[in-house]
Chain A
Amino acid sequence: MAFLKAFGAWLPARRVSNEEIAARVGCDAAWIRTVSGIEERRFAGDEETVAQMAVNAARDCLDRAGGVAASGLGMILVSSGSAERRFPGPAASVAHGLGLAGVPAIDLPIASAGSLFGLALAAQLTPAYGNVLVVASEKMSPLALREPVDRNVAVLFGDGAGACLVAPGDGAGRIVDSALYSDGAFAADLELAFDQPIRMNGLSVILQASRKLPRAIADLLAANGRTAAEVDAFLLHQANRNLLVKLAQALQAPESRFPSNIARYGNTSSASLLIVAAEWSASAGFRSGVPVVMAAFGAGFHWGAILVEG
């Protein structure tokens, strides 16, 4: 069995308001709020790299796990779609930053859904490797603002990192089941080519996500004899506030069960799932026997859901 022992998060200090980003990309600040629910986001400084933010989130996670030492980790999985270089990816640097040498560290270059895939993989790997630390770190701001700027993309993204310790023995939540999916037919609808700005066909992404994600969640719940009405919290990738509302409607679940921080952080791609989970676990958390769903959808397309029980 695999358990979620603790979450962690780290956000850069610099807040970037809608007014600031609107002036930079030439749009109306109120329009950003209307189309996304975002009010501000965080931008990392030059020294705040993907790897460094990941290390900061990892340390926060290990602290929240009751002071688990980095030396107690058997494997690290690092998700990022915004790593600064083609290779090596940030995973080895994150392990090094935690003072580890020799512990396997694997990169998951999966934007948006990478942390979800990491958790599902960690659940399978933890019986063999012991404690598996899943980290997601994204420095989206320089990519979203690459010239030529697409304001529909540039206004959405922020920087940050999240982490989750997956352990074999015990933890706050037990991973009951997961379902992962990929479909490359629409890969060009959300992509980041080398030295290019992010290119997004928002119509396609929202359409696909609105259909695929509720179905993945509903199928996972049904396969485990659960219903959406029983779920305490739906912890979802924070892509867009309007999409979260649409998913709540599709699942016929109250919006209040969809914790959201997108107003404060924007879309932090694969980090967002773990950041929102870290905030939720600090304020609410798992209740014994009560299901919680984690889910994400992103470029690829890759998507899926995980069922956890307290």
Chain B
Amino acid sequence: MAHRDKIHDILRQVSGKEIAAGPEESLFDSGALDSFMLPDLVGALEQEFSIRIPDSDLNPRKFESVARIEDYLATRL
């Protein structure tokens, strides 16, 4: 929950729309993100949280929902 507002801000920036998906809902299946927005999301997370996400962590499932993004960030912050 700690970073939920920031994550929503980033998702809004990247997708250009409000994110209606619930925290556990797939951002891909709900249409909030497509394959060309995902690299932008990863880049924005790196910038916002001052982290470097290694290629080995570039598994789309890690970024599939707001909750999964929170879980991933918890391992890196």
Question: Taking beta carbons and an 8 Å cutoff, which residues of A are in contact with B?
Answer: 35, 183, 185, 201-208, 210-212, 242-243, 246
Contact = CB atoms under 8 A, between A and B. Distances in A.
Nearest to B54: A211
B31 interface: no
A204 B36 contact: no
B58 A204 contact: yes
B36 A246 contact: yes
A212 B35 contact: no
Contacts of A203: 28, 35, 38, 60
A211 B36 contact: no
A211 B38 contact: no
Given A201-B60, A203-B28, A204-B60, A243 B55 contact: no
Interface residues of B, number: 12
A242 B34 CA distance: 12
A207 B60 CA distance: 8
Contacts of B35: 202-203, 205-207
Interface in B29-50: 34-36, 38-39, 42
Contacts, number: 35
Nearest to A250: B39
A183 B58 CA distance: 13
Contacts of A185: 56
Nearest to A210: B39
Given A207-B58, A207-B60, 17 more contacts: A35-B34, A185-B56, A202-B35, A203-B35, A203-B38, A203-B60, A204-B58, A204-B59, A205-B35, A206-B38, A207-B35, A207-B42, A208-B55, A210-B39, A211-B42, A211-B58, A212-B55
Nearest to B42: A207
B11 to A, nearest CB: 15
Contact of B38 (A35, A207, A212, A242): A207
Interface in B54-77: 55-56, 58-60
Identify which of A35, A211, A246 gathers the most chain B CB atoms within 10 Å of its CB. A211
A211 B60 contact: no
Interface of A (DSSP majority class): helix
A201 B38 CA distance: 13
A238 to B, nearest CB: 16
B39 A211 contact: yes
A246 B34 CA distance: 13
A242 B39 CA distance: 12
B27 to A, nearest CB: 10
Nearest to A214: B39
Nearest to A245: B36
A242 to B, nearest CB: 5
A206 B36 contact: yes
Contacts of A206: 35-36, 38-39
Contacts of A35: 34
Contact of A242 (B36, B55, B58, B59): B36
23 contacts: A35-B34, A183-B55, A202-B35, A203-B28, A203-B35, A203-B38, A204-B59, A204-B60, A205-B35, A206-B35, A206-B36, A206-B38, A206-B39, A207-B38, A207-B58, A208-B55, A210-B39, A211-B39, A211-B55, A212-B55, A242-B36, A243-B36, A246-B39
A208 B42 CA distance: 11
A201 B61 CA distance: 11
A223 B8 CA distance: 39
Contacts of B58: 204, 207-208, 211
Contacts of A242: 36
A38 B45 CA distance: 31
